Structure 1
């Protein structure tokens, strides 16, 4: 099982699964985007075993490119782990203050955000594709955690994981206008006159959202892997039938 592990203060385990030609469906972890559900379930079992947990310790969401988040409790353990229909509906960010629960998010170019606040005893995972970014899902979850869950901004540790690079995130004016309307993404947008396309750094835009929420820049790291360019990456932009990575974290 190929995994990129992170050392995030306050988390028991955190990481990002990688494409692996030796695994079933190249290590695809998504039941909603697979050829054979049995292969995905085998990969999930292998992942759980490799990090010292069981499949039923994981909690999955049905991601819809929303700005919705959900507080996970022990009662949610196993949701979406073996049956797609039991995943938490219409949700793109999960957080918990309970130990032993592995929060999971699917990615294939979209920006994964893994966060931990050791002082408050909270961890979370966010799926921020371009739609989630312009809907400010990361900003909204951080605002909630600070205002409602007693998190101090300076106590967060955040990893922004592998995603589509600015070079490969090529968009037309409609998407550009959504980013431009944020009012702070302009430094991370370039226009290529020869193609008439805009190129956007979604990772840097999300980092800026974290900083605007009060998170010190030094507490935020960005993984440089481009899911399109790396042989370890699943890229929906490159292949509409691509599998999915799993970003995961446990308190």
Structure 2
């Protein structure tokens, strides 16, 4: 099972699945972009076995590059795990207090945000493509957790998983302007004269959003793996038919 583990202890498991030529559909984990749903489900079963849980412990959303957040309860267990129709609709951020629920987010260049708050027993995932970033989904999620759930922002530990690197994330004026209008992303962009393109670091922009929400910089880890360059990366920019990574976190009871 080609999976990079970020946390694997008695309390938590967190990580990301990687592209692998020896697996079905290269280890694609997404039902919304696949050639054969049974192959993707087989990959998910392998992941569940590897993590010593059940596929029905998974909770997945129908991601739409929104800024919508969903608080996962026990009633949500298994949603989107075996079929698209039951996935949580129009949502790109999930969090829960419940143990033994594997929160899932799917990416292929977008930034996966994986986090936990030890004191609160809370875990979560966010899908932040550039559209989610300019909608400030991460800032919205963490402000909600601080103000509505009473989380001390200093208690969060956050991992930003593999994503499209700044070198490969080139955009035209329209996207550049939306990042510039955030008011805090200038340091994470540059202009390339030869191509007349702007290059944006989406991971560092998301990191800044976390810091604006009060999360200490030292509590944020960036996985610098570029999904476009890495042999283990799924990249939509490189291949429109690309599969998807699954980033996950689960608190154990």
Whether these two folds match at TM > 0.5 is yes
1:78 and 2:116 correspond: no
Counterparts in 2 of 1:10 and 1:213: CA distance versus 1, 3 Å: farther
- How many residue pairs get aligned? The number is 251
Deviation at 1:11, TM superposition (A): 5.4
Other-structure match for 2:26: 26
Aligned-partner SS, 1:203 = helix
* CA distances 1:133-182 after superposition (whole Å, capped 9, x unpaired): 00000000000000111110110000000000000000000000000000
1:185 aligns with 2:185: yes
Displaced runs of 4+ in structure 1, greater than 4 A?
8-11
Paired with 1:154 and 1:8, the residues of 2 have a C-alpha distance of 22
Q: Secondary structure of the equivalent of 1:7?
A: strand
1:175 paired with 2:175, answer yes
Q: Report the Cα distance in structure 1 between the residues aligned to 2:93 and 2:9, rounded to whole angstroms.
A: 20
Alpha-carbon distance in 1 for matches of 2:10, 2:205: 25
Residue 222 of structure 1, CA deviation: 0.1
SS at match of 2:90: coil
Q: Distance in 1 between matches of 2:101 and 2:195?
A: 46
Deviation at 1:196, TM superposition (A): 0.5
Aligned twin of 1:7: 7
Distance in 1, matches of 2:227 and 2:150, equals: 34
Does the 8 A contact of 1:11 with 1:123 survive in 2?
A: no
- Tell me, which stretches of 5 or more residues in structure 1 are unaligned? none
Deviations 1:72-118 (A, max 9, x none): 01111100111110000000000000101000000000000001001
The alignment status of 1:123 with 2:151, answered yes or no, reads no
Which position in structure 1 is the counterpart of 2:165? Answer: 165
**TM score, norm. by length of structure 1:** 0.98
Superposition deviation, residue 7 in structure 1: 2.3
Question: Structure 2 CA distance, aligned partners of 1:243 and 1:133?
Answer: 21
- Give me the CA root mean square deviation: 1.1
State how far apart, in whole Å, the 1-side matches of 2:144 and 2:160 are.
19
CA distance in 2, matches of 1:152, 1:9: 23
What CA distance in whole angstroms lies between the structure 2 residues aligned with 1:224 and 1:17? 15
